Structures are given as C-alpha cells and as structure tokens.
Amino acid sequence: MGLYLNPNAEALKQSLRNEIYVDKSMIVSELNKLAETDHDFLCISRPRRFGKSMVGNLISAYYSKGCDTREIFSQMKIGQVPDYDKYLNKLNVIKLDLNGWYQNSIQRRRKEYLIADIHETLAGEFKESFGSIAFSGEETLDQCILKVYAKTGEKFVIIIDEYDVLVRERVPEELFQDYLSFLNGLFKDTTLRPAIALAYITGIIPIVRDKVQSKLNEFTEYTMLRPRQFAGMIGFTEEEVKELCETYDMDYDECLRWYDGYKMSDTIRVCNPLSIVTAIHDREFDSYWTATGSFEALRDYILMDFEGIRQDVIKMISGGSVPVNVLKYQNTMESVNSKDNVFTYLIHLGYLCYNRKDKTCSIPNEEVRIEWINSIEDSADYKKVMAVVNASKKLLDDTIQGNEEAVARALDAAHTEVTNPLTYNDEHCFQSAICLAYFYANTRYTLVKELPTGKGYADLVLIPYLPNIPALVIELKHNKSAESALQQIKDKNYCQALNHYKGDLLFVGISYDEKTKEHTCRIEKVKN
C-alpha cells in the first residue's frame, strides 16, 4: 500500500463522514461492465466542483488491493447488484491527481521536473510493494507496470484526475513534451495494453484534439455534450436533490431554479453538488459555485468580437436559447476562434448547458445567470444592456401597480437600447427582449415562455415563488392593439395554467407598432 500505488480508502471514508453524502457507487457497476474489454479506457470531462475527485476516490477504494472495503460497498447501492464484488479490492490501482502534483511542483520550484518526479515516486512505491521483483528504482511508471504484469500477471487500474491541467495552464513546451511522453508510455504501448484492466481519466475539457488526442485515441469520451451511460453518475440528479430537500426541509422548486439546468439526456438533469450542499448548510440559496472561481474567465470569452455573439448573449441572459455548432471546437483555448467555439467551450466549463435535441445552448440556472451579469456589468459593449437590467425592477413594480404608460415607455427604451430593429419584428426576438426588460422578475418569479394552457400557448407566464405578489400572464402582439392581446388571454383561457394559484392575477397585453416603433400596454387585474 502506498500513497499512489494501491492507496487506502481514507479519502472515501472522509467523504462518508460528511453530514451530506450522496451515494454515487453505481458508477462502479458501469465501469465493471467495461473493465478488461476493448472499451476500458475512459475520459470523463465535467466542470470544476462537479464531484469528479470524490467519484475518483470512490473508484479507487473499490478496486484497490491496498484496502478492504467490502463492508463499505456492501451497504451502498452497488452492494445490491449481483456480483458487485467482481473486482472488489482485486486490482492494483495507480491514482494520480495531476493538478495536485502540478501545484506542488510550482511550490517546490520543480515544475520542469514534474513528470520525472512522478516516475521516481511511483518507482519507489513499486519497489516497496513488489519486493520479489527486481527494480532498479530508475524505471518509468509504464516500465514498472509492465515488469509486474510480466512476472505476476496482475493487472492495473489507472486513475488520473485533472488530466488536462497541463493543457489549460499552458506550461513550458519542454514540460508538455514530457507529459506527452508520459501519456504515450502508459496508453499507446500495445505490449502494456493487456496489463491495464481500466483507465479512468477526468478533466474539465475533453481530450484536446490537436495536442494529446494521438496519445489518447483509444479513450472513449463522456462529456457534457455526450455523457452517455454516465449522465447521472457525476453531479446530483434531480431525484437526489429532491431527496436532500425533503430531508433538510429546503424548497425543492427554488433549489432547482437556482442550481438545475444541465440536461445530460432526455431523462436526466444534474445540479452542481457544491452549490446544493452549501445551500443546505447555509440554509440559503445563493451563488456558491461561481464564488469558487473568477468571472473574468467567462468575461474574456463573451466579450470576444465575433459576429452575432452580443445579440446571442443578450438573448441567453433574457432566458432564451441560441443555436450552436459544437462539432468544430478542438478542445483547446487556442481554437476558441468563433462564436460557436466560445459557446462550446463555455458548455464544457458549465457556464452554459446544451440541448442535444435542438442543438442549442442556454444559461442553465439563476446562479450562473448572476455570473453572466457580473461579467458584463462594467463592459462598455454591454452598457445599454445593463441599463435595461437595472431598470427592470421599476418596470416590474410599474406592471404590478398597473401603470400602463410607464410600462410602455420602459419597453420603448429597452427596444431602442439593445435590440436590432430588423430582428425585433421576429416573434421570438420580441419575446426575448421582453424577458430581458423583465430581468428583475427572475428574483421573484419563474418565467415560462410558450406555456401550453387553455386553447393555445401563452407567450409569457410569470409564476410567483414568493408570497403576496400576483401572477402575470403576458401576451405580445405586432401591429395590433394591446386590447386585442388582452382579449386573447381571456378568449383562449390562458389563465388555466394558474388554476392552482390562489393569489391575484394580472393580464398584460403588450403591442408593438412597427411604423411608430412604440409599445402600448393594457393591464387588467383579476381576483382569483
């Protein structure tokens, strides 16, 4: 047993001692299906703080011969699976946190010796663990594995957390070439391949196509764009969040509004574990995940001068989604050279979510939306947008108070400030602009666009999640009267979707005249 070769299970045990722990052990069941097959090399990429390291600790504790974890896993979900113990503590595990190694090398001012230090340290642990095998102590890690396999037939599981840190940090070329040699020795040597029962690497970004793909081309990727069977294995699923909210008496719907939105498949959505756990501990919904990093990383990309990016950013901040081509991105910072690549990169970072069905991206939740606003707040390019955002509280107040003229003039200003007159005549652009104008409403309402109700679809429905404020049904019209919009709400019974709501209702009809470039508004209060 060593620190990196066949480590103990203390990291898992420490997690289990936490007040809040979500059992993700079923990932082992999926890995066992792949172990010792042609598909046993995996790369799983997820945003930071999504629980990759905790899952890596769990996997290590399951396979490692350096511990006895039968009692632990027999009581977890995986323990209910037939033959759950097929590989339990039966394989040699090599577990490396590459980010930890890298940061330590910086502190010791040995960055250029990072890979050499890994080889030397692991060779020492091999020498101690396999005393019957002659090691010189100068072998590389891949040579050590091959020597043990040749002598004993024992196989290995390789776990590398943050495999991409040396790509993201843009390290010196000499160190990067050393890293490529390291990957090449572990994963490209056909002689060594049978000795590896499972290779499990994680990172924030997928395998970098123009830098390390040739060394990792045997790996199957499971990304934010295509997570496949591992969709719900990292991050908290909605079902897991619901159980936590019931246990700790937290508002489930509000929790989802703040932290949900990452649609991993048709049936699985996940939330950021850090945010959920912190919100439960603090008994307060707030921005937690975004506080662990700098919003400058986001700002630098959304302020790039690519055609159409500004309008798309405005639309997404307003709650809309935009088309994105995710196939061009090469998974490097250098290849972020178009709007599509910017948005694809931000999907991998967790600042956007992706809808595979309609090939669009959007801002996933309230926590991340706040980060987007922080990112553009001081930008000259988005000064007018921020003026609309900052005016949105008064607009909402005027709407609730029935001040029709003030609402119309506020919408005139919002249209003039941020919207292309040619696209504003499009129904969806009109809707997005209204959503941006009502940005502050996100702090009090759930905004639902195109809500099926009555005899059709309501353009915009604002459902309160705070008490003592009215629900809003908003209908939009081009070149027709606001009165006709109000009448359509009634004729088509759009308020049917709010039958369960016991408070007051506001019917809001908004019209835009393409000739005068002006809005009109009619508001009617309905007792429910």
Q: How distant, in Å, are the alpha carbons of 25, 80, 87, 198 from that of 30?
A: 10, 14, 12, 12
Co-location of 77 and 147 in the same domain: yes
| Mean pLDDT in residue range 464-481 | 89
Task: Give 483-512 pLDDT, tens digit per residue.
Answer: 999 999 888 888 887 777 778 899 999 999
What are the angstrom distances between the C-alpha of 466 and each of 241, 253, 448, 462? 21, 12, 16, 12
Average pLDDT over residues 121-125: 95
Once rounded to an integer, what is the mean pLDDT over residues 157-168? Answer: 93
- Domain annotation covers residue 384: no
Q: What is the pLDDT of residues 226-281, one digit of tens each?
A: 999 999 999 999 999 999 999 999 999 889 989 998 999 889 999 999 999 999 99
What percentage of the chain carries pLDDT values higher than 90? 60
Report the 3 state secondary structure along 47-69: CCCCCHHHHHHHHHHHHECCCCC
Whichever domain contains 174, its CATH number is 3.40.50
Question: Are residues 278 and 303 both part of a single domain?
Answer: no
Task: Identify the burial level of 466 via C-beta atoms within 10 angstroms of its C-beta, where 0-12 means exposed, 13-18 middle and 19 or more buried.
Answer: exposed
What is the per-residue pLDDT for 334? 67
Q: Are residues 327 and 200 in the same domain?
A: no
Q: Looking at 30-34, 135-139, 420-424, 480-484, which range is the least confident one?
A: 420-424
CATH number of the domain residue 348 falls in: 1.10.10
pLDDT at position 481 is 93
Same structural domain, 138 and 42: yes
**Cβ-Cβ contacts under 8 Å for 258 (sequence gap 6 or more):** 275, 279, 285, 286, 365, 366, 367
pLDDT score for 436: 84
Same domain, 474 and 371: no
Q: Which residue has the tokens 């045990």?
A: 13
**Is residue 333 over pLDDT 90?**
no
pLDDT confidence of residue 216: 87
Same domain, 259 and 403: no
For 302, the token pair is 């959304």
Among candidate residues 203, 230, 257, the one where a domain is terminated = 230
Q: Does 118 fall in a domain?
A: yes
Q: What is the pLDDT of residue 387?
A: 87
| Residue 306 neighbours by CB distance under 10 Å | 17
341, 314, 344, 329: which is closest to 434 by C-alpha? 314
φ and ψ at residue 349, rounded to 5 degrees: -80, -15
pLDDT for 16 equals: 96
Stretch 207-220: mean pLDDT: 81
**Confidence class for position 422, pLDDT limits 50, 70, 90:** very low
The two tokens of residue 29 are 């069941």
Q: Is the pLDDT of residue 424 over 60?
A: no
423, part of any domain: yes
Do residues 236 and 340 touch, judged by C-beta distance below 8 A?
no
- How far apart CA 314 and CA 413 sit, in angstroms, is 15
Q: What average pLDDT score do residues 308-328 get? A: 87
Q: What is the 8-class DSSP label of residue 197?
A: E
- Asked whether the CA dihedral 175, 219, 364, 332 is positive or negative, the reply is positive
**Boundary of a domain, candidates 378, 399, 418:** 378
In a domain, 431, yes or no: yes
Task: Evaluate whether residue 5 is within a structural domain.
Answer: no
pLDDT digits (tens, 9 = 90+) for 342-388: 999 999 999 999 999 999 999 999 999 989 998 888 888 888 888 88
Same domain? 123 vs 194: yes
Residue 131 covered by a domain = yes
CA–CA separation, 2 and 430 (whole Å): 62
Task: Give yes or no for residue 139 having a pLDDT over 60.
Answer: yes
Whether 206 and 260 map to the same domain: the answer is no
Look at residue 142 and tell me if it is in a domain. Answer: yes
Q: How many domains would you assign to the chain?
A: 4
CATH of the domain at 394: 3.40.1350
Cβ pair 404, 423 in contact under 8 A: no
- The pairing of beta strand 269-271 with beta strand 262-263: antiparallel
Query: Lowest-pLDDT range, 406-415, 417-426, 447-456?
Result: 417-426
> Residues of the chain with pLDDT > 70: what percent?
95
Residue 278's pLDDT is 96
Q: Are residues 32 and 60 in the same domain?
A: yes
Residues 368 and 500 placed together within one structural domain of the fold:
no
Query: Is the residue at 508 inside a domain?
Result: yes
- Total residues belonging to the chain: 528
For 446, the 3-state DSSP assignment is strand
pLDDT at 292 over 70: no
Same-domain pairing of 355 and 471: no
* Structural domain harbouring 357: 294-378
Best mean pLDDT range from 29-33, 444-448, 499-503: 29-33
Q: Is the whole model's pTM more than 0.95, yes or no?
A: no
Mean pLDDT, the chain, integer: 90
Domain boundary among 291, 312, 332: 291
Residues 44 and 173 in one domain: yes
